[in-house]
Amino acid sequence: MSQESTLRIGVIEDDQMMMAFIKKLIAKTEGLELCGAWMTGEEALREIKRLNPTVVLVDLELPGISGEDTIRAVSALLPTAAIVVLTVHEDAMRVFGALQAGANGYLIKGCGPIAIIDGIFAAHRGGSPLSPEIAGLVIRAFQKNSTKKKALPLPHLSPRERQILDQLATGKATKEVASELHLSYETVRDYLKQIYQKLHVRSRTEAVLRYLENPLN
Protein backbone atom coordinates (compact mmCIF):
# COMPACT_ATOMS: atom_id res chain seq x y z
CA MET A 1 0.00 0.00 0.00
CA SER A 2 1.43 3.41 -0.94
CA GLN A 3 2.54 5.98 1.59
CA GLU A 4 -0.16 8.36 0.34
CA SER A 5 -2.90 5.87 1.24
CA THR A 6 -1.54 5.07 4.71
CA LEU A 7 -3.87 6.14 7.51
CA ARG A 8 -2.25 8.04 10.36
CA ILE A 9 -3.71 6.89 13.68
CA GLY A 10 -3.82 8.78 16.96
CA VAL A 11 -4.68 6.95 20.18
CA ILE A 12 -5.90 8.48 23.45
CA GLU A 13 -5.96 5.69 26.06
CA ASP A 14 -4.88 5.69 29.70
CA ASP A 15 -4.74 1.90 30.19
CA GLN A 16 -1.16 0.84 29.50
CA MET A 17 -2.02 -2.74 28.53
CA MET A 18 -4.72 -1.58 26.13
CA MET A 19 -2.39 1.04 24.69
CA ALA A 20 0.30 -1.60 24.10
CA PHE A 21 -2.26 -3.85 22.40
CA ILE A 22 -3.46 -1.08 20.08
CA LYS A 23 0.10 -0.06 19.18
CA LYS A 24 0.98 -3.65 18.28
CA LEU A 25 -2.24 -4.01 16.26
CA ILE A 26 -1.55 -0.85 14.26
CA ALA A 27 2.10 -1.78 13.71
CA LYS A 28 1.24 -5.11 12.09
CA THR A 29 -1.65 -3.81 9.95
CA GLU A 30 -0.82 -2.75 6.42
CA GLY A 31 -2.08 0.73 5.62
CA LEU A 32 -1.93 2.01 9.20
CA GLU A 33 0.76 3.91 11.07
CA LEU A 34 0.77 5.30 14.59
CA CYS A 35 1.41 9.05 14.59
CA GLY A 36 0.64 9.80 18.25
CA ALA A 37 -0.28 8.05 21.50
CA TRP A 38 -1.39 9.88 24.63
CA MET A 39 -2.55 8.88 28.10
CA THR A 40 -4.76 11.95 28.65
CA GLY A 41 -6.85 14.34 26.62
CA GLU A 42 -4.70 17.24 27.75
CA GLU A 43 -1.55 15.61 26.34
CA ALA A 44 -3.31 14.83 23.05
CA LEU A 45 -4.68 18.33 22.55
CA ARG A 46 -1.21 19.86 22.85
CA GLU A 47 0.07 17.88 19.84
CA ILE A 48 -2.79 16.46 17.83
CA LYS A 49 -3.31 19.33 15.41
CA ARG A 50 0.38 19.36 14.45
CA LEU A 51 0.49 15.57 13.97
CA ASN A 52 -2.82 15.62 12.05
CA PRO A 53 -4.01 11.98 12.40
CA THR A 54 -6.51 10.58 9.90
CA VAL A 55 -8.38 8.56 12.53
CA VAL A 56 -8.35 9.04 16.31
CA LEU A 57 -9.23 6.27 18.79
CA VAL A 58 -10.50 7.66 22.10
CA ASP A 59 -11.27 5.98 25.41
CA LEU A 60 -14.09 7.63 27.37
CA GLU A 61 -12.68 6.96 30.85
CA LEU A 62 -9.74 9.37 30.87
CA PRO A 63 -8.10 11.17 33.79
CA GLY A 64 -8.46 14.94 33.69
CA ILE A 65 -10.53 16.20 30.77
CA SER A 66 -13.30 13.71 30.03
CA GLY A 67 -13.48 11.52 26.95
CA GLU A 68 -16.51 13.42 25.67
CA ASP A 69 -14.81 16.80 26.07
CA THR A 70 -11.70 15.39 24.40
CA ILE A 71 -13.80 14.24 21.44
CA ARG A 72 -15.44 17.64 21.21
CA ALA A 73 -12.06 19.40 21.21
CA VAL A 74 -10.47 17.01 18.71
CA SER A 75 -13.47 17.40 16.42
CA ALA A 76 -13.04 21.18 16.48
CA LEU A 77 -9.27 21.02 15.90
CA LEU A 78 -9.42 18.33 13.18
CA PRO A 79 -12.83 18.59 11.45
CA THR A 80 -11.87 16.10 8.70
CA ALA A 81 -10.51 13.41 11.06
CA ALA A 82 -12.66 10.41 11.95
CA ILE A 83 -13.06 9.79 15.68
CA VAL A 84 -13.83 6.31 17.00
CA VAL A 85 -14.62 5.60 20.65
CA LEU A 86 -13.00 2.45 22.06
CA THR A 87 -14.30 1.89 25.58
CA VAL A 88 -15.94 -0.50 28.06
CA HIS A 89 -19.03 1.68 28.53
CA GLU A 90 -22.29 0.46 26.99
CA ASP A 91 -24.87 2.69 28.70
CA ALA A 92 -27.03 4.88 26.51
CA MET A 93 -26.01 8.20 28.06
CA ARG A 94 -22.32 7.58 27.36
CA VAL A 95 -23.02 6.33 23.84
CA PHE A 96 -25.19 9.26 22.78
CA GLY A 97 -22.99 11.73 24.64
CA ALA A 98 -19.99 10.57 22.61
CA LEU A 99 -21.89 10.64 19.31
CA GLN A 100 -23.23 14.11 20.04
CA ALA A 101 -19.71 15.27 20.91
CA GLY A 102 -18.56 14.31 17.42
CA ALA A 103 -17.58 10.62 17.45
CA ASN A 104 -18.08 8.81 14.14
CA GLY A 105 -18.14 5.34 15.65
CA TYR A 106 -18.39 3.50 18.97
CA LEU A 107 -16.64 0.19 19.64
CA ILE A 108 -16.57 -1.85 22.82
CA LYS A 109 -13.21 -3.05 24.14
CA GLY A 110 -13.07 -6.79 23.72
CA CYS A 111 -14.77 -6.66 20.32
CA GLY A 112 -11.59 -8.17 18.87
CA PRO A 113 -8.72 -6.94 16.71
CA ILE A 114 -10.52 -7.50 13.41
CA ALA A 115 -13.48 -5.37 14.51
CA ILE A 116 -11.14 -2.58 15.64
CA ILE A 117 -9.21 -2.56 12.35
CA ASP A 118 -12.41 -2.77 10.29
CA GLY A 119 -13.82 0.09 12.37
CA ILE A 120 -10.81 2.29 11.67
CA PHE A 121 -11.03 1.77 7.91
CA ALA A 122 -14.84 2.12 7.92
CA ALA A 123 -14.67 5.42 9.82
CA HIS A 124 -12.10 6.76 7.37
CA ARG A 125 -14.40 5.84 4.45
CA GLY A 126 -17.19 7.85 6.05
CA GLY A 127 -18.95 4.98 7.84
CA SER A 128 -20.14 4.83 11.44
CA PRO A 129 -18.70 1.65 12.96
CA LEU A 130 -20.71 0.41 15.92
CA SER A 131 -20.27 -2.72 17.99
CA PRO A 132 -23.36 -4.96 17.59
CA GLU A 133 -24.58 -4.24 21.11
CA ILE A 134 -24.22 -0.49 20.52
CA ALA A 135 -26.02 -0.67 17.17
CA GLY A 136 -28.89 -2.45 18.92
CA LEU A 137 -28.98 0.20 21.65
CA VAL A 138 -29.11 3.01 19.07
CA ILE A 139 -31.93 1.33 17.14
CA ARG A 140 -33.97 0.66 20.29
CA ALA A 141 -33.51 4.23 21.52
CA PHE A 142 -34.55 5.58 18.12
CA GLN A 143 -37.66 3.37 18.02
CA LYS A 144 -38.61 4.40 21.57
CA ASN A 145 -38.14 8.11 20.89
CA SER A 146 -40.03 7.95 17.60
CA THR A 147 -43.17 6.66 19.34
CA LYS A 148 -43.01 8.97 22.36
CA LYS A 149 -41.67 12.25 21.04
CA LYS A 150 -43.00 14.50 18.34
CA ALA A 151 -40.21 15.06 15.85
CA LEU A 152 -38.87 18.57 15.52
CA PRO A 153 -39.34 20.06 12.06
CA LEU A 154 -36.28 19.89 9.87
CA PRO A 155 -34.73 23.08 8.58
CA HIS A 156 -34.78 23.55 4.83
CA LEU A 157 -32.67 20.90 3.13
CA SER A 158 -31.89 21.05 -0.56
CA PRO A 159 -32.93 18.13 -2.79
CA ARG A 160 -29.26 17.07 -3.03
CA GLU A 161 -28.82 17.17 0.73
CA ARG A 162 -31.91 14.97 1.13
CA GLN A 163 -30.55 12.57 -1.50
CA ILE A 164 -27.33 12.25 0.47
CA LEU A 165 -29.19 11.64 3.75
CA ASP A 166 -31.41 9.06 2.03
CA GLN A 167 -28.29 7.20 0.90
CA LEU A 168 -26.59 7.44 4.29
CA ALA A 169 -29.74 6.13 5.98
CA THR A 170 -29.33 2.86 4.06
CA GLY A 171 -25.94 2.36 5.72
CA LYS A 172 -23.76 3.41 2.79
CA ALA A 173 -20.36 4.95 3.44
CA THR A 174 -19.54 8.43 2.13
CA LYS A 175 -17.50 7.09 -0.79
CA GLU A 176 -20.37 4.79 -1.78
CA VAL A 177 -22.80 7.73 -1.68
CA ALA A 178 -20.45 9.73 -3.92
CA SER A 179 -20.33 6.88 -6.44
CA GLU A 180 -24.10 6.35 -6.36
CA LEU A 181 -24.84 10.06 -6.95
CA HIS A 182 -21.98 10.55 -9.43
CA LEU A 183 -20.29 13.13 -7.23
CA SER A 184 -16.73 13.44 -6.01
CA TYR A 185 -15.93 12.32 -2.47
CA GLU A 186 -14.89 15.90 -1.60
CA THR A 187 -18.22 17.27 -2.88
CA VAL A 188 -20.18 14.89 -0.66
CA ARG A 189 -18.00 15.85 2.31
CA ASP A 190 -18.80 19.53 1.61
CA TYR A 191 -22.52 18.75 1.50
CA LEU A 192 -22.21 16.86 4.79
CA LYS A 193 -20.65 19.90 6.46
CA GLN A 194 -23.63 21.99 5.30
CA ILE A 195 -26.05 19.33 6.57
CA TYR A 196 -24.34 19.21 9.98
CA GLN A 197 -24.64 22.98 10.29
CA LYS A 198 -28.32 23.01 9.33
CA LEU A 199 -29.24 20.14 11.65
CA HIS A 200 -26.96 21.33 14.47
CA VAL A 201 -25.24 17.94 14.73
CA ARG A 202 -21.59 16.85 14.76
CA SER A 203 -21.62 13.41 13.16
CA ARG A 204 -23.29 11.49 10.34
CA THR A 205 -24.95 9.16 12.87
CA GLU A 206 -26.66 12.11 14.53
CA ALA A 207 -27.60 13.58 11.16
CA VAL A 208 -29.22 10.34 9.94
CA LEU A 209 -31.15 9.83 13.19
CA ARG A 210 -32.34 13.43 13.12
CA TYR A 211 -33.44 12.98 9.51
CA LEU A 212 -35.18 9.65 10.04
CA GLU A 213 -37.13 10.73 13.10
CA ASN A 214 -38.96 13.34 11.03
CA PRO A 215 -41.99 11.82 9.30
CA LEU A 216 -41.88 14.44 6.52
CA ASN A 217 -38.35 13.77 5.33
In a shared domain, residues 46 and 100 = yes
In a shared domain, residues 43 and 94 = yes
User: How many C-alpha atoms does 103 have within 13 Å on its Cβ side?
Assistant: 27
In a shared domain, residues 200 and 135 = no
Q: Is residue 144 part of a domain?
A: no
In a shared domain, residues 18 and 88 = yes
Q: Give the pLDDT confidence score for residue 210 in this predicted structure.
A: 74
In a shared domain, residues 122 and 36 = yes
Q: Give the pLDDT confidence score for residue 199 in this predicted structure.
A: 84
Whole-angstrom Cα distance, residue 212 to residue 60? Answer: 27
Whole-angstrom Cα distance, residue 217 to residue 211? Answer: 6
Whole-angstrom Cα distance, residue 161 to residue 147? Answer: 26
Last residue of a domain, one of 101, 117, 139: 139
Q: Is residue 147 part of a domain?
A: no
Q: Give the pLDDT confidence score for residue 173 in this predicted structure.
A: 73
| Phi/psi of residue 61, nearest 5 degrees | -95, 80
Q: Is residue 13 part of a domain?
A: yes
Q: Is residue 146 part of a domain?
A: no
Q: What share of the chain is helix, strand, coil (3-state, %, to 5)?
A: 55, 15, 35
Whole-angstrom Cα distance, residue 208 to residue 163? Answer: 12
Q: Is residue 173 part of a domain?
A: yes
Q: Give the pLDDT confidence score for residue 9 in this predicted structure.
A: 98
| Phi/psi of residue 10, nearest 5 degrees | -110, 145
- CATH number of the domain encompassing residue 85: 3.40.50.2300
In a shared domain, residues 188 and 122 = no
Residue range of the domain that includes 177: 152-212
Total number of domains constituting the chain: 2
In a shared domain, residues 89 and 181 = no
Last residue of a domain, one of 110, 139, 168: 139
What average pLDDT values come out for the chain (217 residues) when binned by 10 residues? 73 96 96 96 96 96 93 91 90 82 88 91 83 68 51 72 84 81 89 86 74 60
Q: Is residue 193 part of a domain?
A: yes
Whole-angstrom Cα distance, residue 51 to residue 81? Answer: 12
Dihedral angle sign, alpha carbons of residues 191, 197, 199, 200: positive
In a shared domain, residues 92 and 167 = no
In a shared domain, residues 163 and 133 = no
- CATH number of the domain encompassing residue 201: 1.10.10.10
What single letter denotes the amino acid at residue 169?
A: A
Last residue of a domain, one of 89, 106, 139: 139
